[in-house]
Structure 1
C-alpha cells in the first residue's frame, strides 16, 4: 500500500551515549510521532498505522540502536528500501561520537553500556557496538559527530540543520540555574529569582516545575502570573521582528536559583502559550536533563 507523498520517516541511530535520546526528544517537541528501539519488522506496520491516523502530513521518528538484535540491524536496510519504494520520505541519521568522549561520558554518568551485560569491558563494548551498527552507518543519509556538542547544541542542530523547521522559525524555551552559569546561546534571558520559591516548602523541594503541586503553588502567586504576562507581551512584540529578519531559531532562557522549579514552570507555560502561534516550539530543562 503506497503512502502519501508527505509521509516522512526519520530513523535515528548511533553510538550509545551519542545523543540519540536527546535528538528523539527534539523531534517529539516538533510533533513527530516518536518510537524508540523498534524492531525492523514492525516499522512498515508502524508507518502504515500512523499515516492512516494522522492524515496526509505524517511525521514519524524511530530510534534504532544496539539494543536491537544483530539480525534485526542487518535487516533494517532492506526494510527502509521497501518503505522508500512505497513513497515514504526517509532520512537515516547516525549520531557518531569519538571513543574517548564516550568513555568519559559513561564515567561521568556511571551508566552501564548496553553491551556490558555480556561481560565486556567498556572499550570492548564500544568496539563491538561500532561493528554491529556498521550496516546502518554505511547507508546513513547524514552522520552527526556529537563529540563536541552539548545537549543544547544537539537539539538546535536537529531543529535547524536537517530541514525540520520547514521554513518557520523555531523557538526554544530553556530553563537553567544561575549558579551554573548563563546558557551560551541565549537570545533572551529572564531572571525568575525574584519570584516565590517552592524550594522552601519541604513537600515541593524534591519535585520540579513539571509536577502538578509545584504548578499549583506557582499559579497561586500573583507575582508569578504578572511575570509570565510581561514576558509574553515582550515576546509577542519582538518574535515577529526576529522572524522578519529570517532568523531560523530563537532561544528564550529563564533562570532561577536551582533551575528546577520556577524556571521550569515558566518555560513550560511559555511553550504552551506560543505553540498556538508557532508550529516549531521546543523546551529544554538544562538542570533536569
Structure 2
C-alpha cells in the first residue's frame, strides 16, 4: 500500500510552559494528537498512521519531551529519516523563564516530571532544560509563554502555525425549562418568559417550538420580533469576539417556563440565522424534548 505523506508537527518544550495547551489547541484545529510518545517510536508511529491512506487525518501533532523514553539527541536522525520518506516534520518548542516556571509550579502544586530523581524544583528545571537543548536547537518555532495567559498562548500558537483562525467555533443554541435549572455549560443565558406563551392556546399546547403552528404564532407577536432583532444584534456584535478568543464551542441557552414552546422557537430561529451568517456548525439541543 502506498504511504500518504503526513503533515507532522512535533510539540515539545519545558514542563509548565504550556505544551498541553498548545496540543489541545492543535487538536481543536483538526490535528490528530499523540501525547508523551516514546521518542524512539516516532518514525514507526508516523509510518503506521500514513499507511491508513485517506482514513488518516492529514495533520499529525506529536508531543515529545523530557517524559519521553529514548535518546532525544537522536531526534535529528529520526526527523531526517522521515523527511526522506516524504514527510515534512516541523518542531514547535514552548519555553518559559525559570522564574515563571517556578512560580507556576508553586501555584499549581504539581510535581515536576524529574522530581522522582530527588531533585529540588530549581535543579529539576535546570536538568530538564539541559536535556531538551537538542530539541530547542532544532526548533522551527519557539514560543516564550512567560508573559502569556492560556488564551494568549492559544492565539500565539494559532498565529505562529497559521492554524485555527479559519475554523469557526461550534455554536449550540439550547432550550431549557427554568423549573429544571439553568444549563451549567451555557456561555449566554437568555430569558424567553417575557414573550407570549403558546401554552395558553389549547391548540398549540401539545405542540412545540419546532412545529409550524407555534412558529407562526410567535412570528406574529411584535414582542417576539423585537426580541429576535435585539438579541440578534447583541450576538452579531459579540460572537465574533468570542471567535477571536480561539474558543471551540459556544453555547447560547434560551429558557422559558416549560422549555417546550418559546425557548425552542428562539433556539431554532437563531440557529438558522447563524448558519446563514457564516456559522456552518450552528446546531440546536432542546433539553426538555431531546
By the TM > 0.5 criterion, same fold? yes
Q: SS of 2:146's equivalent?
A: coil
Say whether the 8 Å CA contact 2:35–2:62 is kept in structure 1: yes
Partner residue, 2:37: 38
1:277 is matched with: 280
Counterparts of 1:114-125 in structure 2, within 5 Å, are 114-125=113-124
Secondary structure, counterpart of 2:24 in structure 1: helix
1:170 corresponds to: 167
8 Å CA contact retained: 2:92, 2:139:
yes
Q: List aligned pairs for 1:45-194, cutoff 5 A.
A: 45-53=44-52, 55=54, 58-69=58-69, 71-165=70-164, 169-172=166-169
Q: TM-score, normalised by structure 2?
A: 0.60
Give a deviation string over 1:189-227, Cα, whole Å, max 9, x none: x9x9x9849889xxx9xxx649xxxxxxxxxxx99xxxx
Determine the C-alpha separation between the residues in 2 that align with 1:44 and 1:172.
33
Query: What SS does the aligned partner of 1:89 have?
Result: coil
1:66–1:129 contact (8 Å) kept in structure 2: yes
The answer (yes or no) to whether the contact 2:168–2:279 under 8 Å persists in 1 is no
Give me the whole-angstrom Cα distance separating, in 1, the residues matched to 2:124 and 2:179: 45
How far is the alpha carbon of 1:10 from its aligned partner?
0.5
The structure whose Rg is larger is: 2
Structure 1 position 75, deviation (Å): 1.8
**Structure 2 CA distance, aligned partners of 1:129 and 1:198?**
51
Stretches of 4+ aligned residues off by more than 6 angstroms: 197-200, 252-256, 273-276
Residue deviations 1:7-61 (CA, integer Å, cap 9, x gap): 2011000000000001111111112111111112211221122223252861100
User: Would you say the 8 A contact 2:92–2:141 is kept in 1?
Assistant: yes
How many equivalent residue pairs? 213
SS at match of 1:11: strand
SS at 1:68's partner residue?
coil
Distance 1:154 1:170 in 2: 17
Q: Within 5 Å, give how 1:233-272 maps onto structure 2.
A: 234=232, 249=244
- What TM-score does the superposition give when structure 1 sets the normalisation length? 0.61
Kindly state the Cα deviation for residue 172 of structure 1 after the two structures are TM-superposed: 4.6
CA contact (8 A) 1:169 1:249 kept: no
User: 2:24 corresponds to which residue?
Assistant: 25
Unaligned runs of 5+ in 1: 175-189, 211-221, 224-229, 243-247, 257-265, 279-289
- 8 Å CA contact 1:171–1:250 kept in 2: the answer is no
Q: Is the 8 A contact 1:23 1:158 kept in 2?
A: yes
Task: Sort the Cα spacing of 1:87 and 1:122 in 2 relative to 1 into closer, same or farther, 3 A.
Answer: same
Cα RMSD of the aligned pairs, angstroms, is 4.2
**Structure 2 regions of 5+ residues with no counterpart?**
187-207, 210-227, 254-266, 282-290
